[in-house]
Amino acid sequence: MTNNLGSDTTADEAASFYANEIKGKIVLITGCTWGGLGAEAARAIAKHDPKLLILAGRKQEALDDTIQKIKEESPEANLRTLIIDLASLESVKKAAAEVNQYSEPIDVLINNAAIMASPYHTTKDGFEGQIGTNHLGPFVFTNSILSRVLASSSPRIVNVSSEGHGLTPIRFDDLQFKKGETYAKWIAYGQSKTANIMFARELAKRYGNKGLVAFSLHPGVIQTNLARDVQISEFQEPIYDAFGNTLDFSTVKWKTLPQGAATHIVAAFDLSIKDKSGAYLDDCQVANDHLRPHAKNNGDDEKLWALSEELVGQKF
């Protein structure tokens, strides 16, 4: 890559670096509650004259709060809200129908919204909460608005994954943790983050011939509202992956919120990585070598796509 950005780069620095690419773009970001990575990415992007920023989230009042704060800094920004609850396929389809009515194409879709290590629960459609919210909801939403994305002259999709993908492969034989009987919240989180990586790569494969570029990324370890179900003290206790290994958080370099959103912006706007479509980014750089073997391109991408279609009852 031609950028010299890295782990300490902030969203503002990244957005300034890609100001020419941001100008005139239409960008849709999910999970735009203030204090989270989506809102921070939106705030930084808004300063560089995008044609339109669509902020998606579950609650209108939370989106209004984010808009008000962005407008304080960028009063001229053209902002629109979209209500979507990724834990409800009915809500996802309603939001997609709204997007499909837009006259504008979507140049960049950033699938940022997620939940992390939450207690066992199911979505409105009966899926284990984390795979439902973090993968199946975005899977249906993305595929349902794909025609609006592909209508762009430079379509791009970014899935916010995590280094947490290393916790586990996709549990094809027990995706739903035997309806909670075998539930382990960190393994469930890791599985959903592995799914984000595979989904981005399969999108790149399926639609590359239509110009689509897709990436997944690890934003870094950051204390955001994503971790509302996790106490910081939990990171002092052993967290086990699916292979029986303990994760050691004592050596982790924590990032600030502005540093955490920087890689979103690189993945969304860096023109020099278009030929690396399907790649995984970390610390503002392409970092496929940071992928665990189970998340590499090994035939599971297509298998996950087929299973996802089966679960949601829709072919894409």
Q: Is 189 a catalytic residue?
A: yes
Compute the C-alpha angle 198/203/178, nearest 5°: 40
Q: 106: which 2 tokens?
A: 């979507």
User: What are the phi and psi torsion angles at 309 (to 5°)?
Assistant: -60, -40
- Three-state SS for 250-308 is CCCCEECHHHHCHHHHHHHHCHHHHHHCCCEEECCEECHHHCCHHHCCCCHHHHHHHHH
Catalytic residue among 18, 102, 183, 189: 189
Residue 219 near residue 160 (C-beta atoms within 8 A): yes
- Beta-carbon contacts of 112 under 8 Å, excluding residues fewer than 6 positions away, are 29, 30, 31, 32, 36, 37, 38, 41, 158, 160, 264
CA 261 to chain centroid? 11
Separation in Å, CA 311 to CA 45, 127, 172, 185, 255: 35, 9, 12, 21, 36
- Give the span between the Cα atoms of 159 and 278, in whole angstroms: 10
Q: 228: which 2 tokens?
A: 């509302």
Separation in Å, CA 254 to CA 120, 219, 251, 295, 311: 27, 11, 9, 23, 36
Residue 284 near residue 9 (C-beta atoms within 8 A): yes
Residue 192 near residue 135 (C-beta atoms within 8 A): yes
- Give the span between the Cα atoms of 25 and 45, in whole angstroms: 10
Q: Active-site positions? A: 189
